A and B are shown apart, each in its own frame.
Chain A
Amino acid sequence: MAVIDIHDVEKTYKGKIHALRGVSLEVHDGEIFGLLGPNGAGKSTLVKILMTVIHASKASGTFLGQPIGHRPTLRQVGYLPEHHRFPQYLTAIQVLQYYGALSKVPKAIRTKRAYELLERLGLTGWEKKRVSTFSKGMLQRLGIAIALINDPTIVVLDEPTDGVDPVGRREIRDLLAELKSEGKAVFLNSHLLSELEMVCDRVAIMVKGQMTMQGTIDELTRDSTRFEVHIVGQPPEWANEAFDDVRDSMLIKHGDNTEELQSLIDKLRRDNISIGAIEPKRESLEDLFMRAVDHIDNPGSVR
């Protein structure tokens, strides 16, 4: 079942900024989904539409089986906004209690869960401290705790690792994996590609308000799977035909068919050509991302 299944979402801000131009997206039950895109692509806009913070110009599809904008569903959703500011006069535990109450979590459960979450996010000892004394990374952790206070079915995180140190990032990644094992779906926005690569089951790349690719990392990079054979000396004549690409002493064969590769190696050896190295290669998420950004190359802004 899809927890998020939306089509043709459009958003034009006042002032004619066309931030989303027909975005469609599907997030499945219990998976970690990463939404990638350069700055200003419209990632936060999409998330805010899901969270009813802004109104879409046009939207169809469902969010947890209900149309977008259906308020009661939001009880089952956790949200970490992009540039959050929690009430400065509250302590960590009070903030959690407050947002928990707004999410209609019963009082008894709320308090217990608040302490558990603070511990889980490494904020033990800070429960009774005012939010105004927190560092950026600590606020981020607190924000994630808030997103989990209502024990949501899906957690929507807008750049969760923003401002968090490497150890913290690792912890957050582990936490995401734990959430997944608890059966929760996670939807996250980020431009930290290597991080997404490590945790996401599926990713989508969004550029200038449009979705360019969507799928598992494996699916998206399959086309770019290849073997690179490095030889010593000049390549033989026949190599131009047998390989897909020849660059000086590097011969490239696309696909992941090892049988075919073996016969080519045999052929090279028969011609007494020394092989320095054979490398299986696959595009990284970064390459994919760059390709996607280049792909939509109408210069300037999203306007």
Chain B
Amino acid sequence: MTFKALLIDAYRQLSAAKLFWLTLGLSILVVVTFGSMSFNEEGMTIFYGLGTIESDMIYEGSPWARGLYIGIFSNFLVTIWLSWIATVLALISTCTIFPEFVKSGAIELTLSKPISRVKLFLMKYAVSLLFVLLQVLVFCIGIFICVGLRIGEWNWAIFGAVPVVTVFYSYLFAVCVLVGMITRSGIASLLITGVFWMLLWTAQTAELALNRFSVDERVTIESFETSVLEQEAELETLRAKSPDDFRIEKRQERIDDMKEDIASAKDTFDKLMVWHEPVQIALIYLPKTGQTIGLLDRWLKDDSGFDIQAMMRGDMRSVEELEEFDNTTRFAREREASKRIHDDYSSRSLWYVVGTSLLFEGVILGLGAWFFCRRDF
């Protein structure tokens, strides 16, 4: 009964706020724009069929059409609209909930009710997530209908965005609540949450870059080392056959060059590790905002690789078409590194990504609840 009352109250509070309706309006606008794209036999149509972009890859029913349409949703609408713009709007509208809740004059009556403070705090926290939940739900219903109509796929996995975005938002909101609890100021909590989010983003981006570099170096070292071994073996046979072969010197030079490259790559790798390791360790304990949002892309992706990321790399062949002869070329190494990074990220379990993040959230909420329970109002 208490939870229901708090929930109804939260809904009334939301619906009294202009920003809630503004955000909802923008959401619907985004959905309408998304729905304006379609596919026919010749290619892709835009603005509800006003114009057609002809293509022999992207047309009605082609796997690339699906990759593009779903990809726009899971890569752009979710990452840019939901987890960025809409999240900022949501934080602005919800940052005052807790400071208002504990405001002197309002809190006394609530505390004098037969509910324990911890329960009250957690329930209030849960119902405060309603803002995001409702927004994302409405958005997903719109997207679900668009996808169904445009590419004929009634994909329930789209609704995965509801928990994913809500959970993502809750990492930030927990920080917002804790600060709001301590400072009792909406502005302060908004600012500090913003700073926290930026730091988190910076750390995650830095980790991505560092990871990319160190995997690159590692791939270089490995492929060069294999190559050196092969070439040394060849050199041996060459020497055994004819010790005066003019190619011996050339080969030896190439091997020495490669060894030098390996040494310098090892050096760079070690230097990178000095930075990469601490950032990596720090990120284990912090909420994984990027990876949480990335879960959706994992769920929605076409396993055969027809996806928007491949399209963006200019790689519109299917994966099997590419065969490599020399693993030491720059292109081969980059492809190998990308593959490893991709495999590494997709191997991280839901448990790891969401679990460790929720652990962080739990600690922050615990602190908030502790403050709330101990405080004299």
Contact = CB atoms under 8 A, between A and B. Distances in A.
B207 to A, nearest CB: 41
A51 B376 contact: no
A30 interface: no
Contacts of A53: 107-108, 111-112, 376-377
Contacts of B377: 48, 53-54
A13 B376 CA distance: 8
B13 A72 contact: no
Nearest to B14: A89
Nearest to A97: B5
Contacts of B111: 51-53
Among B4, B108, B374, which residue has the most Cβ atoms of chain A within 10 A?
B108
Given A75-B114, A87-B9, A101-B4, A81 B109 contact: yes
Interface stretch (B47-55, B98-106, B185-193, B321-329): B98-106
A149 to B, nearest CB: 11
B376 A102 contact: no
A54 B376 contact: yes
B264 interface: no
A51 B13 CA distance: 26
A277 B106 CA distance: 56
B338 interface: no
B106 A85 contact: yes
Given A75-B114, A87-B13, A55 B376 contact: yes
Interface residues of B, number: 26
A55 B375 CA distance: 8
A187 interface: no
Contacts of A94: 12
Interface string B107-134: 1111111111000000000000000000
B2 interface: yes
Interface band, chain A: 20 to 34
B1 A51 contact: no
Nearest to B8: A98
Contacts of A55: 374, 376
B235 to A, nearest CB: 80
Contact of B2 (A73, A82, A97, A101): A101
Contacts of B112: 51-53, 74, 77, 79, 81
Given A71-B116, A101-B4, A104-B114, A146 B12 contact: no
A53 B373 CA distance: 10
Contacts of A98: 5, 8-9
A94 B109 CA distance: 15
B16 interface: yes
Contacts of A79: 108-109, 112
Contacts of A84: 105-106, 108-109
Contact of A14 (B8, B113, B376): B376
Contacts of B16: 89
A111 interface: no
Contacts of B105: 81, 83-85
Interface string A10-54: 000110000000000000000000000000000000001001111
B114 A146 contact: no
Contacts of B12: 87, 89-90, 94
A73 B112 CA distance: 10
Contacts of B104: 83, 85
A97 B111 CA distance: 16
Given A53-B377, A71-B115, A89-B13, A104 B1 contact: yes
A134 interface: no
A86 interface: yes
Contacts of A102: 2, 5, 110, 113, 115
B108 A81 contact: yes
B376 A103 contact: no
A107 B1 CA distance: 9
A146 B109 contact: yes
A99 interface: yes
Contacts of A107: 1
B167 to A, nearest CB: 28
A72 B2 CA distance: 14
A101 B1 contact: yes
Nearest to A73: B114
Contacts of B108: 48, 51, 53, 79, 81-82, 84
Contacts of B110: 102
Interface string A88-131: 01100010011101111001000000000000000000000000
A71 B264 CA distance: 69
Contacts of A48: 108, 376-377
A79 B113 CA distance: 9
Nearest to B113: A102
B376 A71 contact: no
A138 B347 CA distance: 62
Contacts of A82: 108
A98 B110 CA distance: 10
Contact of A101 (B5, B13, B107, B374): B5
Contacts of A72: 114
Contacts of A87: 9, 12-13, 106
27 contacts: A48-B108, A51-B112, A54-B376, A71-B116, A72-B114, A74-B112, A79-B112, A81-B109, A84-B105, A84-B108, A86-B106, A86-B109, A87-B9, A87-B106, A89-B13, A90-B12, A97-B5, A98-B8, A98-B9, A99-B109, A101-B2, A101-B4, A102-B113, A102-B115, A103-B113, A107-B1, A146-B109
Interface of A: 13-14, 48, 51-55, 71-75, 77, 79, 81-87, 89-90, 94, 97-99, 101-104, 107, 146
Given A72-B114, A84-B106, A87-B106, 9 more contacts: A48-B376, A51-B111, A53-B112, A55-B376, A89-B12, A89-B16, A102-B113, A104-B1, A104-B114
